[in-house]
Amino acid sequence: MCVGVVMKIIMGSDHAGFAMKEKVKAFLKGRGVEVEDVGTHSEASVDYTDFGKQVACKISDGTFERGILICGTGLGMSMTANRFKGVRAALANDLFSAIMSRRHNDSNILVLGGRLIGDTLAVQLVETWLETPFDGGRHQRRLEKMDVD
């Protein structure tokens, strides 16, 4: 991150991702990242779609450049978020996927499976994802083909 620039991240989770969201949020705040947490705020059962839509909408409309979503497997959040124009939500449960989602796909939402990975790996994935730049070039042309009206 550039000196003097505050990164802003929007986050959301369902009940299965709540505990991990709290750990990731603490990590981000510890790095000086401004976090908007749209919920959920407990482990009480909720519908992942409600939170996935809130985050994806704020990415799609340009309010935020980056977001993080966490549910049990990450699949439901990925499917929900990717229905929004301009959203490139990438499920990453390993470092290679997190890196490539940024380098080749310029992912703007990182999705994690709270029941599939541990908190330590989740933080490593978030850190790696935030620090990995988009390669551009031929990959930009491919991104431009994704959004169709």
Q: What residues are annotated to the active site?
A: 71, 104
List the structure tokens of 135: 């390669």
Helix H or strand E encompassing 113? strand 109-113
Distance CA 85, CA 103 (A): 20
Please tell me the chain's helix, strand, coil percentages from 3-state DSSP, rounded to the nearest 5.
45, 15, 40
List the structure tokens of 72: 């049990």
Q: Judge residue 101's burial from the number of C-beta atoms within 10 Å of its C-beta, 0-12 exposed, 13-18 middle, 19 or more buried.
A: buried
Backbone torsions φ then ψ of 44, nearest 5 degrees = -70, 140
